[in-house]
Amino acid sequence: MTDDARTVPAPDATPMARRTLLDLAVGATASGVGLLALLPAVRFATPPAQPTPGARGSVVGRREEFGENSARVVNLDGEPVLVLALPGGDFRAFVARCTHLGCVVSYNPAREQIECPCHGGRFGCDGRVLAGPPPSSLRELPVVVRRDEVMVVRG
Amino acid sequence: MEPPDEAADPTPIRALLRRLAGVHVSRGDGLTFVLLAAVAMLLMAVEALTGVLLALYYRPTTADANDSVRFVVTEVEYGGLVRSLHYWGAQSLIVVIGATVAWAALRRAYRAPHALAWISGVALAVLAVAEAFTGSLLPWSHRSVVDAQLSSSLAAQLPLVGPLLRGLMLGGSQPNDLSLVRILGLHAGVLPMVASICIGALCLHAAGCAPRHPSAGSLSLSPHAALRAAALGAVVAIALLALSSLLPPHLGASAEVARASAAGLRPSWYLAFVHQMLSAAPPKMIGLPSARVLVTAVALGVATLALFPLFDRRASRAGQVAVLVTLAAIVGGTIRALLH
Ligand code: FES
């Protein structure tokens, strides 16, 4: 196959250059106008931010409902929270979204680890990464135990 | 040969057929492309038709979507078959378009004057995957919930536009009540629209390329190539029907966004290799979270593949090797991930 399209000689360099310039100007104007029109459309499609509620505690259960070395994932206003009852009787809570790509994590009591099913991320009971691709620790939330009620504080 | 006199034909259909009879394709590559394109067109028609039918009952809210799909499958006459055809048609479309792109790469059909066709073809392959994927979210099963969350996080890893893309797709940073209308809009509106632009470009290209005169080893488009395409189409249609009636896609129950765990789920086959790469990567690469690096690399890779004719104007051997290695990596990665 021959390169017939490119072997045609330009009759004169100047009109060619002028045409390229014209092409460029038309192209730039068209894309500029297009982008300007796109901007309000993108803004429109982005829902307005909802005000985030201030710090508050949510009761997630009574102390005796948690067996020792066990955990449960609770839904706090659409956010999964892992409440962990440690072997010593202490409580810790983490946002149960893996820091890799946000899968919901769960607790493996046999290994005393928090595990992510998506790409094998594993975290210690302190939320630190032990293995796998997650780049950072789980976000911890303060836990308050008052009159046998376990409360997670967010905000 | 004189161009056929269209004015002499009383009906536009006959005029068109006579014109097509004058178009010839080569027995080798030309016929292969005609056949692959015909199968792709057939599958797209199946998708469009069954898609419109499914949309008649679909309700795009997180509360109703799963029940509305279940209603189609369990109550509506032929509902199970229509959904199954839509599912298997989409899977086959990925394979057929993927095979066409691979074939074009083997034949170096990205060089001038085919650049626009190559770009449109790669875009169509990406669109086929995007359609299958957005479609898998619509039933809002447990699996859809997990996939919506995971894929939007993946999109958010792209530099600059990532979080914006996620916001546009979901209407928030997590799947919520706005999400399904948007996903449906992508699946049934935006993506098909982009696809039809690509198909239009391909048609223009084909019309410009097809030689009008018979030569040694060529075949007339109508009726010779068309008959072969019709025969192949019939075989594909029967195979699709058989597959759809024998293996209806599973419809899982819905799940709460904040509690849907991915435990026990496998990624769709066409994204399996991306997930395997993500699992195998260390937490950080070149000082950045590995997911960000990998997602950016995959996006750049696909964009480079699509725009390849612009980079490799001379259509060098090395260029072809690069394209083939990329395609082989995708195919090999997929097979490996599936066997894993
Ligand atoms: S999302 Fe948890 S390891 Fe990938």
- Nearest residue of A to residue B294, measured between CA atoms: A133
Pair B30, B219: CB distance under 8 Å = yes
Q: Helices B115-137 and B79-106: crossing angle, nearest 10°?
A: 150
Pair B198, B124: CB distance under 8 Å = yes
- Measure the CA–CA gap between B106 and B245, rounded to whole angstroms: 35
What confidence score (pLDDT) does residue A139 get?
Answer: 93
Give the bridge partners for A151, in sequence order: A59, A144
What confidence score (pLDDT) does residue B317 get?
Answer: 78
Percentage of chain A with pLDDT > 70? 89
Q: Is residue B303 part of a domain?
A: no
The position carrying tokens 């072809």 is B320
What confidence score (pLDDT) does residue B53 get?
Answer: 97
Q: Which of A35-39, A56-60, B239-243, B267-271 has the highest mean pLDDT?
A: B239-243
What confidence score (pLDDT) does residue A115 get?
Answer: 94
Give the DSSP H/E element, type plus range, for residue B208.
helix B191-209
- Measure the CA–CA gap between A115 and A96, rounded to whole angstroms: 10
pLDDT of B258 over the 60 cut: yes
- Measure the CA–CA gap between A117 and A49, rounded to whole angstroms: 31
Distance from CA of residue B264 to its chain's centroid?
Answer: 27
Q: What is the pLDDT of residues B123-166, one digit of tens each?
A: 999 999 999 999 999 999 999 998 998 889 999 999 988 988 89
Chain B residues within an 8 Å CB radius of A119? 275, 278-279
What confidence score (pLDDT) does residue A52 get?
Answer: 72
Q: What is the pLDDT of residues A58-90, one digit of tens each?
A: 888 888 888 888 898 988 888 899 999 988 888
Q: Which residues contact B23 (CB under 8 A, 6 or more apart)?
A: B210, B211, B212, B220, B221, B222
Instruction: Tell me the pTM.
Output: 0.86
What confidence score (pLDDT) does residue A14 get?
Answer: 65
- Measure the CA–CA gap between B320 and B340, rounded to whole angstroms: 30
Q: What would the two tokens of residue B189 be?
A: 């509106």
Question: How many CB atoms are closer than 10 A to CB A116?
Answer: 27
Peptide bond into B113 cis (omega under 30): yes
Give the DSSP H/E element, type plus range, for residue A27.
helix A13-45
Q: Is B21 on the interface with A (CB under 8 A)?
A: no
A73–chain B nearest CA distance, Å? 7
- Measure the CA–CA gap between A25 and A31, rounded to whole angstroms: 10
pLDDT of A19 over the 50 cut: yes
Distance A132 CA to ligand 1 centre (A): 8
A79-85, strands of its sheet edge to edge: A70-76, A79-85, A91-95, A140-141
Q: Which residues contact B284 (CB under 8 A, 6 or more apart)?
A: A135, B290
Going by C-alpha positions, the residue among B90, B83, B28, B21 that lies closest to residue B58 is B83
Q: What does R_g of chain B's alpha carbons equal in angstroms?
A: 22
Per-position DSSP letters for B86-135, written without gaps between them: HHHHHHHHHHHHHHHHHHHHHTTTTSTT-HHHHHHHHHHHHHHHHHHHHH
Topology given in CATH for the domain delimited by A57-153: Rieske Iron-sulfur Protein (2.102.10)
- For chain A, the structural domain boundaries read 3-45, 57-153
Q: What would the two tokens of residue B67 be?
A: 């029940």
Domain hosting residue B27, numbered range: 20-253
Tell me whether residues B153 and A79 touch, CB distance under 8 A. no
Q: Is residue B323 part of a domain?
A: no
Atom of ligand 1 nearest to the CA of A121: 3
- Structural domain count, chain B: 1
What confidence score (pLDDT) does residue A65 get?
Answer: 85
Q: Which residues contact A155 (CB under 8 A, 6 or more apart)?
A: A52, A53, A54, A55, A56
Percentage of chain B with pLDDT > 90? 46
Tell me whether residues B154 and A119 touch, CB distance under 8 A. no
Give the CATH number, domain containing residue B184: 1.20.810.10
Q: Considering only residues A122 and B259, tell me which one the structure prediction assigns the higher pLDDT.
A: A122
What confidence score (pLDDT) does residue A3 get?
Answer: 45
A143 close to ligand 1 (CB < 6 Angstrom) = no
B168–chain A nearest CA distance, Å? 6
pLDDT of B9 over the 80 cut: no
Q: Which of A95-109, B46-60, B222-236, B305-319 has the highest mean pLDDT?
A: B46-60
Going by C-alpha positions, the residue among B208, B228, B253, B252 that lies closest to residue B112 is B208
